Amino acid sequence: MSEFLQLLTPAGTRVAPDPGAGWYGDPVARPAADPATAHHAVEQLAAHAAELSPSDLRVAYRHMVLTRAFDREATSLQRQGELGLWVPSLGQEAAQVGSAMATPATDMVYPSYREHGVAQVRGLDLRDIIPVFRGTRHGGWDPRAYNFHIYTFVIGAHTLHAVGHAMALQQDRRRGLEGPAAVTVYFGDGATSQGDVNEALVFASSAQVPVLFLLQNNHWAISVPTTTQSRVPLANRADGFGVPHLRVDGNDLIASYAATRYALTRMAADGGPFLIEFVTYRMGAHTTSDDPTRYRSREEEDAWRARDPIARLRTLLTDEGEADEDFLAAVDAEAHELGASVREFTRANAAGEFPEVFDNVYATPNLQVDHERATWDAYLARGEA
């Protein structure tokens, strides 16, 4: 594994980053940017890490534990036949929660389909994700209410939407309108091979728009390892697009937060894109239809289990005296309640009457939809006659 930025070790102890390591890349010197060196970045990153108060770390811990409980419950519900499919976020909680906590609530976030931890931080009722996987509707929430777009299942397609959204922010500013500073977009190691992701990097760099590419390298695109996608560390690909980048330990909540803050701060100064690769691990299956034992070893999974993102944060909080047994127990109890609530919600969640499929195909009246809806009504009427 190539070098990454780490601020919290798997053992739960804080460490200073090594500026000589290869986790920092800046292919373009831009006048608006600060002196672009890893040494300078280290100072900034340390400052951002220090922003996280003990209270913030407890908030992060709670988000991560609730996300994991939700994810475990949904996985279980799929096994019981209550969901058609589930995409586990197990193991990726630090990358998701850390980056999301660093993102202003007003910035639009474009998730892929595994970002349950980001949803948690954005304030969604996590149960709103359930209908998507239960098959009662396609989207589960109003993106505008949370600045959190609906999930995209076509790999990488949404990265272009995020770039376009950032182009709109840039145009807003040119028109003198106030607005959020940036857009963030989540995608995975497999997605980096998609044409759309490469085009997104081209367009973002060409237009110099404030979009933050949040790449979760969880090492497996279903059964295909990251090494099949790329012969170089994924973050290094950003070099070719002229996009500065960081490679961080994605199981490290503090590094994930600090890197995202660093990137957004820099983007606010120079207006251009940035990419962060979070080196993490999909500890569960790709989806509940997948069987990881067919393509990866128990030893590999065990090695990553020892790098668990929640365990190391809990160790830190405990060792630094910032979390006592009462706090940990209260979070566990809340997680337990969440699980029960998700179960109850899921079992009661149902689709509407069939003709709702004709709703919202278009935003305006449409001759063909109206015709087909009428044929359905006539069919029902014949059945009742």
Partner 1 sequence: MNAPVVAPERKGPATAIHPGGPAPVPTSPLPMAQAINAGLRAAMGRDETVILMGEDIGRLGGVFRVTDGLQAEFGEDRVRDTPLAESGIVGTAIGMALAGYRPVVEIQFDGFIFPAFDQITTQLAKLHYRSGGDVEVPVVIRVPYGGDIGAIEHHSESPEALFAHTAGLRVVSPSSSADAFTMIQQAIASPDPVLFLEPKARYWSRGELPATVDLTPDGVVAGLSHARTVRSGTDVTLAGYGPTVATLLKAAAAAAEDGVSAEVIDLRSISPLDVDAVAASVRRTGRLVVAHEAPTYFGPGAELAARVSEECFYALEAPVLRVGGFHTPYPANRHEHDYLPNLDRILDAVGRSLDH
**Per CB under 8 A, 359 contacts partner 1:** yes
Closer CB to partner 1, residue 69 or residue 254? 254
**Six token digits for residue 207:** 């237009």
CB of 44 to partner 1, least distance (A): 12
Closer CB to partner 1, residue 1 or residue 177? 177
**Per CB under 8 A, 195 contacts partner 1:** yes
Contact set for partner 1, span 294-353 (CB under 8 A): none
CB of 177 to partner 1, least distance (A): 5
Please indicate whether residue 295 is annotated as part of the active site: yes
CB of 264 to partner 1, least distance (A): 8
DSSP state of 149: P
**Per CB under 8 A, 85 contacts partner 1:** no
| Among 143, 208, 301, 334, interactor with partner 1 by CB under 8 A | 143
Question: d(Cα 180, Cα 165) in Å, to the nearest integer?
Answer: 11
Closer CB to partner 1, residue 13 or residue 360? 360
SS3 call for 238: helix
Cβ(20)–Cβ(264) below 8 Å: no
How many of the other CB atoms lie within 10 Å of CB of 368? 9
Active-site annotation holder among 63, 286, 307, 312: 286
Rounded to the nearest 10 degrees, what angle do helices 253-270 and 93-101 cross at?
40
Contact set for partner 1, span 94-123 (CB under 8 A): 101-108
**Six token digits for residue 42:** 């280290």
**Six token digits for residue 316:** 């830190």
Question: d(Cα 138, Cα 236) in Å, to the nearest integer?
Answer: 35
CB of 71 to partner 1, least distance (A): 23
**Per CB under 8 A, 166 contacts partner 1:** yes
Q: Give the phi and the psi of residue 81 in degrees, each rounded to 5.
A: 85, 5
Active-site annotation holder among 14, 39, 295, 347: 295
Question: d(Cα 188, Cα 277) in Å, to the nearest integer?
Answer: 9
**Per CB under 8 A, 135 contacts partner 1:** no
CA atoms within 13 A on the CB side of 20: 0
**Per CB under 8 A, 142 contacts partner 1:** yes
Please indicate whether residue 122 is annotated as part of the active site: no
**Per CB under 8 A, 364 contacts partner 1:** yes
CA-closest candidate to residue 217, choices 72, 12, 38, 1: 1
How many of the other CB atoms lie within 10 Å of CB of 328? 16
**Per CB under 8 A, 208 contacts partner 1:** no
Active-site annotation holder among 127, 247, 282, 307: 282
CB of 255 to partner 1, least distance (A): 15
Rounded to the nearest 10 degrees, what angle do helices 93-101 and 54-79 cross at?
130
Kindly give the pairing relationship between strand 245-249 and strand 24-25: antiparallel
CB of 19 to partner 1, least distance (A): 23
Cβ(71)–Cβ(88) below 8 Å: yes
Closer CB to partner 1, residue 76 or residue 349? 349
CA-closest candidate to residue 279, choices 241, 251, 300, 303: 251
**Per CB under 8 A, 139 contacts partner 1:** yes
CA-closest candidate to residue 148, choices 179, 118, 168: 118
CB of 178 to partner 1, least distance (A): 4
CB of 138 to partner 1, least distance (A): 4
**Per CB under 8 A, 266 contacts partner 1:** no
Cβ(196)–Cβ(151) below 8 Å: no
**Per CB under 8 A, 363 contacts partner 1:** yes
Say which residues have a Cβ less than 8 Å from residue 27's Cβ, sequence separation at least 6: 238, 239, 240, 241, 242, 243, 244
**Per CB under 8 A, 174 contacts partner 1:** yes
Closer CB to partner 1, residue 158 or residue 312? 158
Q: Active-site residues: which are they? A: 282, 286, 295
Judged by the rule CB under 8 A, the positions of this chain that interact with partner 1 are 51-53, 56, 101-108, 137-139, 142-144, 149-150, 152, 154, 157-169, 171-172, 174-175, 177-181, 183, 195-196, 199-200, 202-203, 206, 261, 359-369, 371
